[in-house]
Structure 1
Amino acid sequence: MELTTHTAPHATIIRVQAARIDAPVALDFKEEMRTLTHAGKGRFILDLAQVEFIDSSGLGAVVAAMKQLRPHQSLELAELQPIVAKVFRLTRMDTVFTIHDSADIAGDENRE
Structure 2
Amino acid sequence: MIKTTVHDDLGICVVNPAVERLTAANATQFKEEALALIEQKHDRLVIDLGGVSFVDSSGIGALVGLLKRLGNRGEVVVCSLQGSVSQMFRITRMDRVFSAYPDVDAAIKALEERV
What is the TM-score with the length of structure 1 in the denominator? 0.89
Bigger share in strand: 1
Q: Matched residues, percent identical?
A: 36
For 1:9 and 1:90, the matched residues in 2 are separated by 36
Residue 14 of structure 1 deviates from its aligned partner by 1.2
Counterpart amino acid of residue 17 in structure 2: V
Determine if the alignment matches structure 1 residue 110 to structure 2 residue 113: yes
Given that residues 17 and 30 in structure 2 are in contact (C-alpha distance below 8 angstroms), is that contact kept between their aligned partners in structure 1? no
Evaluate the alpha carbon distance shift between residue 27 and residue 51 of structure 1 in structure 2; reply closer, same or farther with a 3 A threshold. Answer: same
Residue aligning to 2:3: 3
What is the TM-score with the length of structure 2 in the denominator? 0.86
For 1:71 and 1:42, the matched residues in 2 are separated by 10
**Larger RCO (CA under 8 A, 6+ residues apart):** 1
Given that residues 9 and 107 in structure 1 are in contact (C-alpha distance below 8 angstroms), is that contact kept between their aligned partners in structure 2? no
For 1:37 and 1:3, the matched residues in 2 are separated by 14
Q: Is the partner of 2:50 in helix, strand or coil?
A: coil
Residue 44 of structure 1 deviates from its aligned partner by 1.2
Given that residues 22 and 58 in structure 1 are in contact (C-alpha distance below 8 angstroms), is that contact kept between their aligned partners in structure 2? yes
For 1:8 and 1:47, the matched residues in 2 are separated by 18
- Within-5 A mapping of 1:23-34: 23-34=24-35
Deviates more, 1:51-60 or 1:33-42: 33-42
Residue 42 of structure 1 deviates from its aligned partner by 4.1
Structure 2: 5+ residue runs without aligned partners? none
Provide the alpha-carbon RMSD of the alignment. 1.7
Residue aligning to 2:93: 92
How many residue pairs get matched? Answer: 112
